[in-house]
Amino acid sequence: MTQDNRVIIFDTTLRDGEQSPGASMTRDEKLRIAKQLEKMRVDVIEAGFAIASPGDFASVQAIANAITESTVCSLSRALDADIDRAGEALRNAASGRIHTFIATSPIHMKYKLQMEPDRVVENAVHAVKRARNLIDDVEFSLEDASRSEMDFMCRIIEAVIDAGARTINIPDTVGYAVPEEFGHTIAQLLQRIPNADKAIFSVHCHNDLGLAVANSLAAVSAGARQVECTINGLGERAGNASLEEVVMALRTRKDRLGLETSIDTTQIVPASRLVSSVTGFPVQPNKAIVGANAFAHESGIHQDGVLKHRETYEIMTAQDVGWNTNRMVMGKHSGRNAFRSRLEELGTSFNTDVELNHAFARFKELADKKHEIYDEDLMALVSDTRAED
Ligand code: KIV
Ligand code: ZN
Instruction: Report which residue type is found at 214.
Output: A
The Cα-based distances of 104 to 119, 147, 182, 219, 282 in angstroms read 11, 8, 16, 19, 35
Radius of gyration of the chain (CA): 25
Ligand 1: lining residues by beta carbon, under 6 Å: 16, 101, 141, 143, 169, 171, 173, 204, 206
Confirm if 265 and 320 have CB atoms less than 8 A apart: yes
pLDDT band at residue 388 under the 50/70/90 scheme = confident
Span 291-340, pLDDT tens digits = 999 999 999 999 999 999 999 999 999 999 999 999 999 999 999 999 99
Is 133 marked within a binding site? no
Q: What percent of the chain has pLDDT over 70?
A: 99
Report the pLDDT value the prediction gives residue 13, as an integer from 0 to 100: 98
pLDDT band at residue 387 under the 50/70/90 scheme = confident
228 C-alpha to ligand 1 centroid (Å): 10
Ligand 1, residue 228: give the atom nearest the CA. Answer: 7
d(CA 275, CA 240): 14
328 C-alpha to ligand 2 centroid (Å): 38
Is 333 marked within a binding site? no
d(CA 179, CA 91): 38
Ligand 1, residue 75: give the atom nearest the CA. Answer: 6
Residues 6 or more apart whose Cβ sits within 8 Å of residue 181 = none
Which residue lies with its CA nearest to atom 8 of ligand 1?
16
Query: Which protein residues have a CB closer than 5 Å to ligand 2 (ion)?
Result: 16
Which of 73, 101, 227 most suits a substitution to test ligand 1, by most atoms within 8 Å of the C-beta? 101
Residues 6 or more apart whose Cβ sits within 8 Å of residue 83 = 76, 98, 100, 127, 130, 131, 134
pLDDT at 1 over 80: no
φ/ψ of residue 368, rounded to 5: -70, -20
Confirm if 111 and 134 have CB atoms less than 8 A apart: no
Strands 44-48 and 296-297, sheet pairing: unpaired
ipTM: 0.99
Q: How does DSSP classify residue 109?
A: I
206 C-alpha to ligand 2 centroid (Å): 6
Ligand 1, residue 143: give the atom nearest the CA. Answer: 3
d(CA 385, CA 362): 8
Nearest to 167 by CA among 337, 294, 383, 2: 2
